[in-house]
Structure 1
Amino acid sequence: MTRSPLVLAALSTQALHGLAAVGVEAVRERGDVDAALVTDADGGRWVVRAPRSAAAGAALEAEVAVLRLLAPYVDAGVLPFTIPVPEGFAPLPEGGRAVVHAPLDGEPVDLSLLSAGPGLAADLGRVVAAVHELPLTVAADVGLPVYSAEDYRLRRLSEVDEAARTGHVPTVLLERWEAALEDVTLWRFQPVVVHGDLGPEQVLTRGTRVRAVTGWSDVSVADPADDLAWLLVAAPADAAESILEAYRLRRTDLADPHLEDRALLVGELELARWLLHGVRTGQDDVVDDAVEMLHELAVAVAAG
């Protein structure tokens, strides 16, 4: 079910007792979620988010549970950024609930503008490292996935096998990925708490600092390379070096010589995941987009 901004504004008044909504505008939200920015009579602003499906509702509930566990680490400065703080909930007629929180400060990070040195690139590295330093109970205590390194390698291999069965992945990529996934020396890492869905829209910045991180529904204990892949693939090379250097300095116990290799591999495997998403959901435009990117990557790999 898709909800209009006006319906979302009405939900916000149910979630926050005494709130009088005087303005509302739609907000773009990733996934199967409707969102709006509501202005109240006192000039306060609130984000209201409502899932459109049972799966989206479950993801939202998982995020709320994680946010409750993260809040003390934010308050103590262990996590050097803000997160959404749920302030109220409104039940939905079909089940589940909408959540309301204050808007977060900052703008989506533009990786193309990053430069080397102690500025934003380094802060991104420190922020990712801070997440990876969290105790594993942040995921385990709310029933989120906890993988061993070997479990996670096999999970990635299964995804490649599934992508291969679609017939859309060029042979040169399948051979490259399977070789990397069969090389167990690459996969000797210590699993950590990972955000699991980091990207420009989830990391909000102001100047040279990360101000907020959102989108916590995919938290798990898994490969730290997952949270670094988007940065190392898309950032300028010199900025990527600064990200990695700051990341390594912030980690207290990091013995992972193949972290960067896996992160770059994960960046490539995201294309297979995008393809599988399109196939599973029957979205031909997503499949076509993934196929085009896979062939571009295959050409680049073949060219050396």
Structure 2
Amino acid sequence: MELAQYASELLGVDLDPATARPDESGWDFHVTHITDTGGSPWILRRPRHPQAARQLGTEGAVLAAVRDRLPVAVPHWRLQSPRLVAYPRLPGVQAGAEDPRTLVYGWDIDPLAAPDAYLEPLARALAEVHRTPHEALPALEAPTPEALRSAVADRLARARSELRLPAARTRRWRAWLDDDSLWPDRMVVVHGDVHPGHTLVERAPVGPPRLSGLLDWGNAGINDPAVDFVDMLYAGGPPVLDLLLNAYRRAGGEVRPGMRAHVLARASFLWVHVALRGLDAARPAWVETALSRIGA
């Protein structure tokens, strides 16, 4: 059965197959933009692999827990199954996109031009996400800070055995892992994948584009709060990180001593995750891109 018909039957909404437009840019989901016969736009997401399908339960639970807390919109799922998620498309356009070949983010806005329109509301949204009580997600297991650190150490050990890692960079990662002052002492609810392509902005006739939504919560869960700053650092550099952290502090978020250094270290270690993901997904281009960044 074709996707539009299958989704229409499950939703009880008449989707027009002639309007279906695939978006294959995501790592974990096949995405289809489609419009119903009344002209309303929808998003259909299908998992690319079993791990993405398993993560849907966590993603849906986090979305339900944070939806009414945030100053911006998040997806409101109208259909959730292991094979398909569907929801009305949020208004706005992506603030940027990732080049699938180079894995470099390109901006369609200037994130530094009007911080009060983009970075500051993003910081307020992240502060609210991180304040979400764990009790709102009783089915999720919260890792201990020690377990989190151990998992990172295990990934480094695997990467050292399977990849060509520069010795100097490996020593810096070991020093980061061994520095108690840099690591958080508590875990929080996180989005897990905050970058320009997962932020929506709305343009007005006058004034700068304003943040309007947060997309793709597929990596959401309970984790180190620093993970929600890593990709924004990578996309916008230290100026974006510093404005975001300062706004996050003003919004009531906890910026520990050493948190900035911890985000910087996590950002450099991001390429280890990408390389290992490339190995597991048989995507040699990801591996080569990641190794070139690690060696830079």
Aligned length in residues: 278
Question: Identity percentage over the alignment?
Answer: 25
**TM-score computed with the length of structure 1 as normaliser:** 0.83
The equivalent residue for 1:302 is none
The equivalent residue for 1:133 is 131
The equivalent residue for 2:262 is 262
The equivalent residue for 1:3 is none
Within a 5 Å distance, the mapping from 1:231-250 to structure 2 comes to 231-250=232-251
> In the alignment, does 2:100 pair up with 1:105?
no
The equivalent residue for 2:101 is none
C-alpha change, 1:183 and 1:18, in structure 2 (3 Å) is closer
Q: Structure 1: how far apart are the matches of 2:290 and 2:257?
A: 30
Deviation at 1:197, TM superposition (A): 1.8
> In the alignment, does 2:194 pair up with 1:198?
yes
The match for 1:159 among 152, 155, 161 is 155
- Listed one character per residue, the Cα deviations across residues 167-222 of structure 1 (whole Å, up to 9, x for unaligned) are 41111110010011111121143321111122222111224432111222222222
The equivalent residue for 1:301 is none
Partner letter of residue 260 of structure 1?
R
Q: Structure 1: how far apart are the matches of 2:275 and 2:48?
A: 23
Deviation at 1:52, TM superposition (A): 4.0
The equivalent residue for 1:299 is none
Partner letter of residue 266 of structure 2?
V
C-alpha change, 1:197 and 1:236, in structure 2 (3 Å) is closer
The equivalent residue for 2:102 is none
The match for 1:119 among 108, 117, 128 is 117
Q: Structure 2: how far apart are the matches of 1:292 and 1:124?
A: 31
* Structure 1: gaps of 5 or more residues: 1-5, 297-304
The equivalent residue for 2:181 is 185
C-alpha change, 1:192 and 1:236, in structure 2 (3 Å) is same
Name the structure where helix makes up a greater proportion of residues.
Answer: 1
Deviation at 1:97, TM superposition (A): 3.2
> In the alignment, does 2:75 pair up with 1:84?
yes
C-alpha change, 1:238 and 1:278, in structure 2 (3 Å) is closer
Q: Structure 1: how far apart are the matches of 2:124 and 2:238?
A: 18
C-alpha change, 1:128 and 1:20, in structure 2 (3 Å) is closer
Deviation at 1:239, TM superposition (A): 3.6
C-alpha change, 1:85 and 1:109, in structure 2 (3 Å) is same
Partner letter of residue 222 of structure 1?
N
Q: Structure 2: how far apart are the matches of 1:217 and 1:66?
A: 10
Q: Structure 2: how far apart are the matches of 1:221 and 1:173?
A: 28
The equivalent residue for 1:290 is 290
C-alpha change, 1:243 and 1:83, in structure 2 (3 Å) is same
C-alpha change, 1:274 and 1:16, in structure 2 (3 Å) is same
C-alpha change, 1:109 and 1:18, in structure 2 (3 Å) is closer
Q: Structure 2: how far apart are the matches of 1:175 and 1:244?
A: 27
Deviation at 1:243, TM superposition (A): 1.2
Partner letter of residue 200 of structure 1?
P
Q: Structure 2: how far apart are the matches of 1:226 and 1:34?
A: 24
CA RMSD of aligned residues (A): 2.3
The equivalent residue for 1:220 is 221
Partner letter of residue 88 of structure 1?
L
The match for 1:11 among 6, 11, 23 is 6
C-alpha change, 1:233 and 1:284, in structure 2 (3 Å) is closer
- Listed one character per residue, the Cα deviations across residues 129-186 of structure 1 (whole Å, up to 9, x for unaligned) are 2211111234x4233x412222222221221111111241111110010011111121
The equivalent residue for 2:205 is none
